[in-house]
A and B are shown apart, each in its own frame.
Chain A
Amino acid sequence: MQNEPSSVLNEFRQGSVDAFETLFRLHQRAVYGWILRIVRNSAAAEDVTVEAFWRIHRAHARFDAKRGFEGWARSIATHAALDWLKTRREESELPSDFPSPATADPAITAEIRRKTALAFERLAPKLRIAAVLAVVEEQPHKEVAEALGISVAAVKLRVFRALRLLRKDLASQGITP
């Protein structure tokens, strides 16, 4: 993400739509990229990005310029993505835009990868979001913690629980990793 002049941040805090547009133009790619890493579907990521920026605008009066826009926007975007994951759970599964890599481990068959992805979809959204950011996207635990508004220890615990439940689910299907 890029830095923005403090005057823009102050104007945004006062509700200026022009300042909001400036911040949107500066940060939309980064916010979209972060959301895409969570929802893993480009069309859904676009919708959630719009929702996130709407929430950002709605919360403009609570913005603290000292904290910086980047982390604050990322936190709001993460919660918008989490809400999306919660609603998607009750609906039909949305296919990921990102198929398995060509450099996949030959010991892990395509069927195991598919079953793993499906089992992962069945995990609670708050566990999925921590696991996908920390394990799949290899984001630092500190950044994940800040985005989720929890401690680093809580992130590690969620990742551990996600992996344990995933293993249990796969074991129930006869897959022993």
Chain B
Amino acid sequence: MNAHDHDRMKQLLQQALPRIEGEAEPHRDLWPAVLRRLDAETVAVPWFDWAMLASLVGLAAFFPASIPVLLYYL
């Protein structure tokens, strides 16, 4: 594609997709929606907690005798 084609394509694209002039403004106040989004945010559990839980479940599954010991230390 030479420089002429490049400029022609730019012109064509500008004709197909008009530039948005001026400063646009949302039709509604978005702050309540942002707050709702923040409230809906799930509490992130660190990966280490999941690894610890998996280790304990594995221990209890393979060595059931360890369950009373685990319960004792809870």
- A residues near B, CB below 8 A? 17, 21, 24-25, 28-30, 32-33, 36-37, 40, 42, 45-46, 49-51, 53-54, 57-58, 96, 98-101, 104-105, 108, 112-114, 116-117, 120, 131-132, 135-138, 160, 163-164, 166-167, 170, 177
Partner of A136, one of B14, B26, B27, B28: B14
The docked-state distance in angstroms from the alpha carbon of A53 to that of B10 is: 32
A54 and B13 contact, Cβ closer than 8 Å, known pairs A29-B25, A137-B19: no
- B residues near A, CB below 8 A? 1, 5-6, 8-20, 23-28, 30-31, 33-34, 37-38, 41
A112 and B12 contact, Cβ closer than 8 Å, known pairs A28-B26, A177-B5: yes
Least Cβ–Cβ distance between A89 and chain B, in angstroms = 17
The docked-state distance in angstroms from the alpha carbon of A135 to that of B37 is: 33
The docked-state distance in angstroms from the alpha carbon of A105 to that of B16 is: 10
A117 and B16 contact, Cβ closer than 8 Å, known pairs A42-B27, A50-B33: yes
- The reply to whether B24 and A33 form a contact with Cβ atoms under 8 Å apart is yes
Least Cβ–Cβ distance between A45 and chain B, in angstroms = 7
Contacts of B13 in A (CB 8 A): 116, 120, 131, 135-136, 163, 166
Least Cβ–Cβ distance between A2 and chain B, in angstroms = 12
- The reply to whether B34 and A53 form a contact with Cβ atoms under 8 Å apart is yes
A160 and B30 contact, Cβ closer than 8 Å, known pairs A100-B15, A100-B18, A112-B12: no
- The reply to whether A136 and B17 form a contact with Cβ atoms under 8 Å apart is yes
- The reply to whether B30 and A113 form a contact with Cβ atoms under 8 Å apart is no
- The reply to whether A120 and B17 form a contact with Cβ atoms under 8 Å apart is yes
Apart from A136-B14, A177-B9: 14 A-B pairs, beta carbons within 8 A:
A36-B24, A50-B33, A53-B37, A99-B18, A101-B15, A101-B18, A104-B15, A105-B11, A120-B16, A160-B1, A163-B9, A164-B1, A167-B9, A177-B12
